[in-house]
Structure 1
Amino acid sequence: MGEKNEGDAISFHLKRTQQLPLDEHGLSSLSLNDSRYYMNHPKRGVALIFNHMNFNSNLPTRQGTNKDKDDLESLFTKLKFRVESYDDLTKEQIRNVLVSVASTDHTDEDCLVVVILSHGDNRKIFARDTHYSPELLWISFDGFHAPSLIGKPKLFFIQACRGDKVDAGVPVRHQTQVDSTKREDRYISIPVMADILVMYSTVEDFLSWRNPKSGSYFIQSLVRQLSFHAKEKDLLSILTYVNREIATGYSPEMKQERLQSYANKQMSSVVSMLTKEIYFV
């Protein structure tokens, strides 16, 4: 039935640290009236990609992750980012890269992107040697550690598992227009968690799917939707399209075998603390 999909996903728990520094009027020096982030600095910014295929432990090799990495590099290059990719780093090496990037001057840059491609579990992301908490990724980029990024979007995309539960989906009636005069009821599969408003970082305890040849559901959808809509839509709208594609999509193997209703499902989730719209134009 084709290549076997493998599991991947992770928690995205956000922890409050300290308040950002304010001026004598109790406000930051940034404009509070603009509805969009200013994205016309001399440089777009850096996109960090931490790609994990091999591990020192007994974790399985993540076949297909290089497809995700290559597609992400192409995407962010087209979006005018300076792309830096790292393969199979240890936890300490990841920390060092993040601290180094955070300490540089981002005054002339629009924003920051960090992407993780790895194995995970509930509240764990795996580096080559050990696991770490997701907070490691953004703790270096708060207003105290990266002041030149204050008021600028900092975007983190995490492809990893946060449990071992499988979302088998729940059937829902879907009407299809057969011709100009006839509609036909058909059944598709959507995730169990679909249509519930839960403002969690991600759906806890569940797997995220990756194909050994074609890459992960999430990253491939992210690349497709950003490539298609980046010049006309704001980022949150595009990420909603990613949610929709993943929720209603199914694996190529299931499509080929006409087993759409039985495909394993997945529900991506967005936790947004953005205060303005992002347009990559």
Structure 2
Amino acid sequence: MAFLVAGTLRVATQMADTRDSLGRKGKYDVRGPKAALMLISPGVVAAAVTALEDVFQALGFESWERRQVPVQGFLEKLAWFRERLDAHRHPVGCALVALVAPRGQLKQPQQLVRELSGCGALRGCPKVFLLLSSGPGSALESGAFLAGLRELCGRFPHWSLVQLLTELAPGPNTQYDLSKTRAALLLAVIQGRPGAQHDVEALGGLCRALGFETTVRTDPTAQAFQEELAQFQKQLDTCRGPVSCVLVALMAHGGPQGQLLGADRQEVQPEALMQELSRCRVLWGRPKVFLLQACRGGNRDAGVGPTALPWYWSWLRAPPSVPSHADVLQIYAEAQGPLGNGNFFPCWSLKRTLESASSNSFSEVTVGSSCRGAPPGRSDQADILTVYSAAEGYVAYRDDKGSDFIQTLVEVLRANPGRDLLELLTEVNRRMCEQDVLGPDCDELRKACLEIRSSLRRRLCLQP
């Protein structure tokens, strides 16, 4: 069983033993009440509700609200849930929302996520969304995922939630073997992007230090983005020995809908580039890391809370502002086609560490779809880690010294190259969320947050 997870948590927290978790750097403080809500479409069988209740209990939620409502009413019920939390006027330790709907009806849940993210009581707290699908006859297609999650929560109550989700995927319960060839491709538009050259130099140096055979191409046109990636894939296919891992960095200006702009200002879809490489035969079962440093829209985030910290705010120890779209974890379990063995894939992106016993920007995850030409049980959606420098719809920041994302990433990975990459990316996101950026468009401070999507099935350490 596999799945895809996405979110914006700054850390993977522990919810069972809060005293222990508070003693660890990078853990959420979840000592406040943990609020949970189930929104279930009419007709979902009772077994599905029972499975969800078991998971809620395994994650340490002693009580929860349950509402049966059509998908069209989900937003209204979430608004009611938000108002109820805000009315308490006390911080909440964590919020968990399960949304169960017919297959295909939860394609774009950003509005639902934004509704809860605006809750004042949840500011800086982890918000976890379980987006589950029911198929013909109202069977819960993600039942295997829920059963596995419930079992692992009981067996490993102190594991981080990210660890649990990775463990749920099929495959040996170890980390990826990176002892063979590792290859990296860096495609960067330098022209008209001050500081971009520093990103190329820093990231290229890191990749070589980690043992990656690194290819760098600067100022590619939109067509050259595709051609260079095709050539990279051809080299992988003709490689004499096995390939352990690939890393691809795409750095350019971004279009209003998240497109990449080549040096010729023409558009190319980054997802299409990534999908093409994921079908590479020699990479089946191998981790594929994609780093995207580019704007994904024109929105600018002023953050939630004080937009600046003059001396009196510091004296009062007022909490700093955080990105309005941070601290969100979305877990999707939705099959979109026949998956050989009925596998599922999740995707996440967080700002801190959220741990299990009640336990990387918004991310959107589609789970499933068989890959063309892949062996039974395999999917071209598995073993992929994608990191966006900005949340969907928002700008990414860069100055003459380089981009915040790439420079912070290189700093963190150089300091701890042997640690799990998802944990390191959570640390990168935490540092970025704490930064105040003075955008070129105005004199007001802005905030930025990474979006991390993962369908990895094992731990990934770039330095074996």
Shared fold (TM-score greater than 0.5)?
yes
Aligned counterpart, 1:206: 394
Q: Distance in 1 between matches of 2:172 and 2:244?
A: 18
- The letter of the residue matching 1:112 is V
Deviation at 1:195, TM superposition (A): 2.4
TM-score normalised per structure 2: 0.45
Q: How does 1:1-281 map to 2 (within 5 A)?
A: 32-41=171-180, 43=181, 45-54=182-191, 61-103=192-234, 104-106=237-239, 107-121=241-255, 122-129=257-264, 130-143=266-279, 146-171=280-305, 185-198=317-330, 199=348, 200=363, 203-211=391-399, 213-231=400-418, 233-251=419-437, 263-280=445-462, 281=464
Any unmatched runs of 5+ in structure 2?
Answer: 1-169, 307-314, 331-347, 349-362, 365-387
Q: Distance in 2 between matches of 1:225 and 1:119?
A: 24
Percent identical pairs in the alignment equals: 27
Against the structure 1 CA distance between its residues 197 and 34, is the aligned structure 2 distance closer, same or farther, given a 3 Å change threshold? closer
- What RMSD, in angstroms, separates the aligned Cα atoms of the two structures? 2.3
Q: Distance in 2 between matches of 1:196 and 1:239?
A: 15
- The letter of the residue matching 2:249 is V
Are 1:105 and 1:148, in contact at CA under 8 Å, matched by a contact in 2? no
Are 1:119 and 1:160, in contact at CA under 8 Å, matched by a contact in 2? yes
Are 2:278 and 2:288, in contact at CA under 8 Å, matched by a contact in 1? no
Are 2:184 and 2:215, in contact at CA under 8 Å, matched by a contact in 1? yes
Aligned counterpart, 2:23: none
| Greater Rg by CA | 2
Are 1:210 and 1:217, in contact at CA under 8 Å, matched by a contact in 2? yes
Deviation at 1:197, TM superposition (A): 3.0
Q: Distance in 1 between matches of 2:228 and 2:298?
A: 30
User: Which protein is richer in helix relative to its size?
Assistant: 2
Q: Distance in 2 between matches of 1:229 and 1:263?
A: 30
> What secondary structure sits across from 1:48 in the alignment?
strand
Once the two structures are superposed, residues 54-112 of structure 1 have per-residue CA deviations (whole angstroms, 9 ceiling, x without a partner) of: 2xxxxxx1111001011001111110111111111112222122112212335432111
- The letter of the residue matching 2:269 is S
Once the two structures are superposed, residues 2-47 of structure 1 have per-residue CA deviations (whole angstroms, 9 ceiling, x without a partner) of: xxxxxxxxxxxxxxxxxxxxxxxxxxxxx92242111112x2x211
Q: Distance in 2 between matches of 1:105 and 1:244?
A: 40
Deviation at 1:142, TM superposition (A): 2.8
Aligned length: 223
Q: Distance in 1 between matches of 2:238 and 2:173?
A: 23
Q: Distance in 1 between matches of 2:327 and 2:171?
A: 33
Deviation at 1:192, TM superposition (A): 1.0
Deviation at 1:123, TM superposition (A): 3.1
Deviation at 1:50, TM superposition (A): 0.7
> What secondary structure sits across from 2:321 in the alignment?
strand
> What secondary structure sits across from 1:223 in the alignment?
helix
Q: Distance in 2 between matches of 1:134 and 1:240?
A: 22
> What secondary structure sits across from 2:449 in the alignment?
coil
Q: Distance in 2 between matches of 1:195 and 1:81?
A: 32
- The letter of the residue matching 2:213 is R
Any unmatched runs of 5+ in structure 1?
Answer: 1-30, 55-60, 173-182
Q: Distance in 2 between matches of 1:142 and 1:75?
A: 23
- The letter of the residue matching 1:150 is W
Are 2:300 and 2:394, in contact at CA under 8 Å, matched by a contact in 1? yes
> What secondary structure sits across from 1:246 in the alignment?
helix
Are 2:247 and 2:289, in contact at CA under 8 Å, matched by a contact in 1? yes
Are 1:95 and 1:136, in contact at CA under 8 Å, matched by a contact in 2? no
Aligned counterpart, 1:180: none
Against the structure 1 CA distance between its residues 194 and 83, is the aligned structure 2 distance closer, same or farther, given a 3 Å change threshold? same
Deviation at 1:184, TM superposition (A): 5.7
